[in-house]
Structure 1
Amino acid sequence: MTRLLLRHLACLLGVHAVGLVTLSLMRLALYAAGHHFLDAGSAGDILLQAQAFVRGVWFDNVIGCYILIVPLAFTVLCHLAGRGRAALAASLWWMRVLWVAAIGVSAANIPYFLYFFKNINSSIWNWAEYGTTTMGMLLGEKSYYPPMAGFVLLSAIFLWLTVRVRRALVPAGDARRGEHKGLQARPWCPTGAMGVLVLGCAAIGLCLFGIRGRTGYNPIKVSAAYYCHDAFLNQLGVNPAFSLLTSTLDDRRPENRRLNLMPVGEARARCLRDMRR
């Protein structure tokens, strides 16, 4: 049981690593598109610029751990129940869908950043009220085509690599034999279950630490990416999906909600009345 769990965990971590590389390529594309934002003092400092990519991997790993935690826990529970072989396929599809979504947010962040000079955030949900207009704007603007093409290309490469990772770590022949055996009732082994429990708890604990992002009182925040005087490099290290997620959650906090001091109709009527005076 423990040996099979190790192979499945290695497969999940392999997909995680492929996702990190893919997001780093998207960050490189943003750097290439927005390098003109660099200050004169940092334009020639390669080591200073490299730190933004290192911090970017840090933030990408946080998003990756958010994606990983559910399939990781699901895989461990299935192994404890003696049905670990059936968990891998569902876990991989979960990770593929969410990683492609994260790649899509990074692709959308490129034109957003070039226009607003900040990472994508919860303000995009305001555009959802005008779906037809927004879609027409996206499809009608030719400058958006390269990020769209990059998203399609990198997503296809990512999905292909995840298939290769699974075939390398869990051969198809073994998977088919495992699925056949999984249909048969197998005796529960206390020793094997204890090994799965210890290994699973360790893996889940590391994943939760990855979600937190750092030690200390507070979990990781956007400010952790700021390390120099260059505004472009400071923002380059922030994962767009992380920015979108945290800003959306912040908007839902009670203290950040819009104040409703009076009904909208009454406020409008009072404004019109005051304007006529």
Structure 2
Amino acid sequence: MWRRVILGNKRKSYLWAYAFISAPILGFLLFALIPICFSVYVSATQYSGYQKPVFTGADNYVRLLSHDPLFWKTLTNTIYSVLSIPIGMALALAIAVALNQKIVGIRFFRTAFFLPTISSVVAMTLLWKWIFNGDYGLLNYLLGLIGITGPAWLSSETWAMPAMILQGVWGGLGFNMVLYLAALQGVPGSLYEAAEIDGAGGWQRFVKITIPCISPTTLYILITSIIGAMQDFPRFQIMTEGGPNYSTTTIVYYLFQNAFRYMDMGYASAMAWVLGILLMAITLLNFWLSRRWVHYE
């Protein structure tokens, strides 16, 4: 009798467990797995989203890799924009080191640096669009005070992408700074004390202790930043709309144009899978290289 009661309770527990996990499983199937599988099929078809897909095999991929110079230009633009990552990581680490000190008002500065992270992307992008305005923008006004004539930042093929990189560095500082700050506070103080006793200077302690100890956080920031930068879209749409002359058209923005402006869903899906494979390759390469410089102990 007791055995039956125990088995009955176990079955009820299993039923409740299945009920709780059913929601995320159904959500994954409906909004992730099924769309992913459908996009694989659509990438091998000619499909506008309205009529029935027409199977074309690998034509979209051949067209993408061999007959579309604009794809390679947008890919180059995207890689160019990724240059903001090492600059942003270095600045975030420097700010985190400064904010890790015990000084008066440190909480205010931590909040101030993190505030852009929780602000609206659209609002912040519009603010920077005004800052970069070539006629009455704040940046050119400040440059004019020191006798420098600023360029038409967002209207110049030469300066548009550097302007976007500058804005991207600013936008990612807060989040990366918090991650680095948490990592710095996890470094054992005994290591610094031992190094100081051995006569190590501040720079030596930073290079030999701090950087190795926070290397797992550096790897995480590097990988997530690359993935985010390769998929960056809203900033470019709002600030430049991919111009001038496609100089700031990223691969995701080009994908968006093909899918929703030209209604070429099959071609856009093929582009998405090429981007996904590229991101996976870069991520795996980072993990492989991390064995040489990431320390988990």
Larger Rg: 2
Structure with the greater relative contact order (CA < 8 A, sep ≥ 6): 1 or 2? 1
Q: Do the two structures share a fold, i.e. TM-score over 0.5?
A: no
More helix per residue: 1 or 2? 1
TM-score (norm: length of structure 2): 0.27
